[in-house]
Amino acid sequence: MDMQQTTQPAAMTQKETPPSERRKWLKKLYTQRHIQIMALLGIAWMIIFNYVPMYGIIIAFKDYDIIRTISEAPWAGLTHFKEFLSDENFGYVMKNTLGISLIKLLLFPLPIIFAIFLNEVRSLRFKKAIQTISYLPHFLSWVVLGGILATWLADVGIINHILMALHVIDQPISYLAEPKYFWTIVITSDLWKELGWSAIIYLAAITSISPEMYEAATIDGAGRFQQMWYVTLPAIKGTISILFILAVSGVLNSNFDQILVLRNSLNDSASNVIDYYVYYTGISQGRFSYSAAVGLFKSVIALVLLLIANQVSKKLNDTSLF
């Protein structure tokens, strides 16, 4: 009898615990109802605009046109993928995409270096001025910046005037009409626009470093450059790894807005990247299934690169997205 009496309360307690936890959870949910509603709106937006349209991916495996619905279109299998891989444009489209993106990837350390040196500026007024100047181009659209660059790089633009005044060139050059200059223009302008903005995350990571670590390094006789190398860089290693993984996964993205604004028929051999190729074949030529197949091909490659970069980062420095 005693054993039954002692076991019954324990069993009852075990049964009563889950409802008690649920009540606490519901109470907490109610107190946070305003925040939860905001979060639910964001989740609903993501589902409606990011996940529901994914049904349309199946047109990459069909012969779709605007006359029939997606379900009515006949299946084509991997025909469009094979057509893209055997397309005469495949070679130079991939060359332009990878060439521009890999050079941008090689310049990945520049925002890190900029953030570290900016953090070392002691004058607060000077530091804010540099931040404002470096951040400002990010808030201008590529439509505006493209117009500015087209004016600067024209035959009668300021770039030609400066170079001719310095006797670097003898005759004006129409830079956007020459394919050999296009990659340099794209990479330089992208760096000018995004350098300061890209450094924000690194600056935020640097501000979270304990000042005691710098004090200990100073006591040990470390100079400012040694503190950057042995204190700052190791402390933001995790942030660098995550952003590098994302940069690797986006190696086939060539900034469509920028390319669309700066390209023309004269520099087509250097400016035709995957994103523009999808736009041109899908919108201008009406080859919806083919362009969807090309876009899906790019997404699959991006996923593979993400998984590889994630595993490499996980093994090298125990930092990964998942």
68 within a domain of the structure (yes/no) = no
Q: Could you tell me if 35 and 160 lie in one domain?
A: no
pLDDT (mean) for 213-234: 90
**Total domains in the fold of the chain:** 2
> Which structural domain range is residue 137 located in?
78-317
- Supply the CATH number for residue 159's domain: 1.10.3720.10
**CB-based contacts of 94: which residues, under 8 Å, 6+ apart?**
274
87-98: per-residue pLDDT in tens? 998 998 999 999
242-296: per-residue pLDDT in tens? 999 999 998 888 889 999 999 999 999 999 999 999 999 998 888 999 999 999 9
Q: Could you tell me if 83 and 43 lie in one domain?
A: no
pLDDT (mean) for 166-181: 91
pLDDT of 15 > 80? The answer is: no
Q: Could you tell me if 125 and 26 lie in one domain?
A: no
Q: Could you tell me if 169 and 247 lie in one domain?
A: yes
Q: What is the DSSP string of 220-246?
A: TT--HHHHIIIIIHHHTHHHHHHHHHH
Q: How many residues does the chain have?
A: 322
Q: Could you tell me if 199 and 304 lie in one domain?
A: yes
Task: Give the model's pLDDT for residue 25.
Answer: 87
114-139: per-residue pLDDT in tens? 999 999 888 889 999 998 999 999 99
Q: What is the pTM (predicted TM-score) of this model? A: 0.82
Contact 202, 166 (CB under 8 A): no
In angstroms, the CA 156 to CA 173 distance is: 9
In angstroms, the CA 130 to CA 115 distance is: 11
67 within a domain of the structure (yes/no) = no
Kindly state the percentage of the chain with pLDDT values over 90: 64
pLDDT (mean) for 20-29: 86
The mean of the pLDDT values for the chain is 89
Q: Could you tell me if 280 and 183 lie in one domain?
A: yes
